[in-house]
Chain A
Amino acid sequence: MIRTRPKEQGDQAPPRTLTHRVLTARQTRLGLIMMLVMIVFALAGPFFAPHSPTAVLAKPYADPGDGLVLGADSLGRDILSRILSGGANLTWMAFAATFIGVTLGTTIGLVAAFKGGIVEALLMRLVDIMLTFPTIIMAILFISMVGPSRVILVVLVAIGLTPGMARVMRGAARPVMRREHVMWARTIGLSSRHILMREVLPSVTSPLMVEIGLRLMWSVVGLASLSFLGFGVQPPASDWGLMVSENKDGLAIQPLAVIIPAVCVALFTIGGNLFAEGAARVIGRTEGTRS
């Protein structure tokens, strides 16, 4: 008649945080791997280029041969070398812009949600104004005046990312601020730092990951597009976006000079999006089953 204790807790899965679950989901992993491959390709590429990316080695749009594996581009430069060295700038600029934009936006969003009242109202008004502001068009304006400085490009893209980021993070942090465990922390007088870092931030890491993936993708899209329009890396230096516009008139003769750089950019951004959407899906599923 001795009863075994009910197996009430024994059969539950070991504790896995949402962050862990996000990072181990198949789709997010695939996205991470794709991004990683592209980053390594872009950063290590210049060291493997067989020729100088700026040297004119053959006739325009020359066929493959004579040591030019993929042929020559519109000015007779080696396509392969230009592809290999055309991603480094894009990569570091995208990461720098994402880092600045995400940090700035997250800070604004969290501070707004935490402070509330007039501080929140002012910050969010500012964000609203920034959101209706045509950042892309403004970027073109500045670059057309000042010239295509890489630092300015990074700053402009970062500013473009900030308001959306701030709005999302404030949206994520606000319900957390209203949660009872945060109120409890306030009632016993824990410091603002403790509350922000220990009670609020861990609860918004998952949406943060989604946003980082998305913003990284947008940075790459924005920077590559600006470069395509001629506002980014300047010729004769090589860049994927620039290569597409340089060689688009010869698309019929030398399609690879356009298609390969275009696909490189796309692989990078698709990786970012895979990660972001995979993370969003994991979070949605977890939170969907919780209620």
Chain B
Amino acid sequence: MAIETTTAIAVKAAPPRRRSRKATLAWQIGVRVLMGLVTLWCISVIVFVATQAMPGDVAKIILGPSATSEQVAQMNENLGLNQPLISQYWDWLSNVLTGNMGDSLVSGQPVSELLSERIFNSATLTVIAMVLILPLSLLVGLIAAVFRDKFVDRSYLGASLVVTATPDFVLGSLVIALFGTVVFKVLPPVSLIPPGEAPWEHPRQLIMPLAVMTVVGVTYLSRLVRVSFIDVLESEYVQLATIKGLSTRRILFRHALPNALAPSIPAASIMAAYTIAGSVVIEYLFAYPGIGSALVDSVAGHDLPMIQAIIMLMATAFFCFNQLADVLGTLNKSR
């Protein structure tokens, strides 16, 4: 009996190979996106549980150790902490999804209002950094690969070893010391953007944070570009292209580039995710008014709604770029 079933399956499975491959790909990506939504939901639960339903008194954390019991009771009332957890979560989630994230406990203004400008500032910084990082990584990776094991490549590898290992805040502090305060004093050591003004109206303030973000990003991404370029340059098809007598330019840009680029694209997306996470340090270091520095300030001021909103925002952005990388990687593999 068993034999007959296996044969039947084989007959059914064999012919529509091609179409089923595309179908499985769509299915695979579908599953990933679904898993992603589940993860995102998990994040929201964790953020909620961590902030609102912690064992111990949230109100006390917010008000500080010197709070009176009436104050604590009042705070519990305000935050809706007396209600059952499930309904608290439900209220919270529906509010978050409709963009209503409550009022700041410090200033009393709505969180969404407080954050909108900061989000804009952070996004500006990140987007400009990405715009710089992508082409630069490609260029640097390509040059290093072409001059593999030569002086150019070796010094690049040495520099990138140091930069990769150095924490952003160390790198940033040294840059500030070098250009801002101690040695050259040519750039402002802090990047304060007055409220209501766009970051690009203060280009000099942006140079140092952008430089640090770009150097870190380029170091990460260009190494991947370099490795995939080297793999491709050593491939048999590049050897055959050389043997066919093609020009170096054609070999590099028509034969090698498309193949070397493919694995770098998911990596770029991962790098975007880490740039977002890393922006907390950079913004705090340069006192740049973005959501990263807002997070640090909110934690110091126990501003619970602000913390919730910023963490949700950053976690979602981080997660989305990671998920994008995952999907791009799946697409790549299927080719």
Q: Which residues of A contact B (CB under 8 A)?
A: 125, 128-129, 131-134, 136-138, 140-146, 217, 220-221, 224-225, 228-231, 241, 244-245, 248, 251-252, 255, 258-259, 262-263, 265-266, 269-270, 272-274, 277
B323's partner among A132, A230, A258, A273 (CB-CB below 8 A) is A132
- Is B167 within 8 A of A251, CB to CB? no
Give the number of A-B contacts (CB < 8 Å): 133
Contact (A269, B277) CB under 8 Å given A132-B36, A133-B319: no
Q: Is B54's beta carbon under 8 Å from chain A?
A: yes
B173's partner among A125, A230, A259 (CB-CB below 8 A) is A259
Q: List chain B residues, Cβ under 8 A from A258.
A: 173, 177
User: What are 18 A-B interface contacts by the 8 Å CB criterion?
Assistant: A128-B35, A129-B42, A138-B46, A138-B315, A221-B167, A231-B299, A244-B169, A244-B170, A248-B285, A251-B180, A252-B181, A252-B189, A255-B182, A258-B177, A259-B174, A262-B170, A262-B174, A273-B164
Contact (A225, B307) CB under 8 Å given A132-B36, A262-B174: no
Q: Which residues of B contact A (CB under 8 A)?
A: 35-36, 39, 42-43, 46-47, 50-51, 54, 61, 161-162, 164-170, 173-174, 176-177, 180-182, 189, 273, 277, 280-281, 284-285, 295-296, 299-300, 307, 311, 314-315, 318-319, 322-323, 326
Q: List chain B residues, Cβ under 8 A from A269.
A: 165-167
Q: A270 CA to B161 CA in the complex, in Å? A: 7
Q: List chain A residues, Cβ under 8 A from B161.
A: 270, 273-274, 277
- Is A230 within 8 A of B167, CB to CB? no
- Is A255 within 8 A of B181, CB to CB? yes
Q: A58 CA to B46 CA in the complex, in Å? A: 46
Q: List chain B residues, Cβ under 8 A from A131.
A: 322
- Is B326 within 8 A of A132, CB to CB? yes
Which residue of A has the minimal Cβ distance to B61? A145
Overall SS of chain B's interface? helix
Q: List chain B residues, Cβ under 8 A from A251.
A: 173, 176-177, 180-182, 189
| Minimum C-beta distance from A222 to chain B (A) | 8
- Is A225 within 8 A of B281, CB to CB? yes
- Is A140 within 8 A of B295, CB to CB? yes
Q: List chain B residues, Cβ under 8 A from A245.
A: 169, 284-285
Q: A266 CA to B165 CA in the complex, in Å? A: 7
A137's partner among B165, B166, B311, B323 (CB-CB below 8 A) is B311
- Is A224 within 8 A of B167, CB to CB? yes
Given A142-B50, A265-B167, A269-B165, 7 more pairs with CB closer than 8 A: A144-B299, A145-B50, A221-B165, A248-B176, A259-B174, A262-B174, A274-B161
- Is B39 within 8 A of A228, CB to CB? no
B281's partner among A125, A143, A229, A262 (CB-CB below 8 A) is A229
- Is A225 within 8 A of B169, CB to CB? yes
| Minimum C-beta distance from A28 to chain B (A) | 12
Q: A258 CA to B47 CA in the complex, in Å? A: 34
- Is A266 within 8 A of B170, CB to CB? yes
| Minimum C-beta distance from A221 to chain B (A) | 4
